[in-house]
Copies of this chain bind each other. A is one copy, B any other.
Amino acid sequence: MTDRGASARPARRPTRQQQAITDLLERSEEFVSAQTFHARLRAAGERVGLATVYRTLQSMVEAGTVDVLRGDDGEAAYRACSTDHHHHLVCRSCAKTVEVEGPAVERWTDAVAAEHGFTQVTHTVEIFGTCAECAASTRTR
């Protein structure tokens, strides 16, 4: 559709705000919502507008350096991720995230799609559960 071609994206002009966002992103192990993200930046003394947080995260998603996850309530959560295609195993309780790969799943989705005549296939696979730590603390409670 749109020509998302080669030299097209000129990389945003680097600014203090973007640096702050990138830093915090890299220090976060789990998926964080844009709102929470903004709150943390503010708490850390950074002066960054909410709109900027959204804009920056969004462009990073397009650039492929950040992954998005939609919770049951529809709120988007972000996390720094490698460019490679992979999926996530997320703790329902503490949001701890493990990146996982599943060649078998990739093959399966492609096969299923082809079988029904679908092309330009993409897919989402996310696994939710309770991590060992959270399970332990819940049981103790």
Question: Interface residues, chain A, CB within 8 Å of chain B?
Answer: 70, 74-76, 89, 91-92, 98, 100, 102, 104-105, 108-109, 112-113, 116-132, 135
Contact = CB atoms under 8 A, between A and B. Distances in A.
Given A100-B116, A116-B131, 20 more contacts: A70-B70, A70-B74, A89-B113, A89-B118, A91-B118, A98-B116, A102-B112, A105-B105, A112-B127, A113-B127, A118-B131, A119-B130, A119-B132, A120-B135, A123-B125, A123-B127, A123-B128, A124-B124, A124-B126, A125-B125
A122 to B, nearest CB: 5
Contacts of A118: 89, 91, 127, 129-132
Contacts of A75: 74
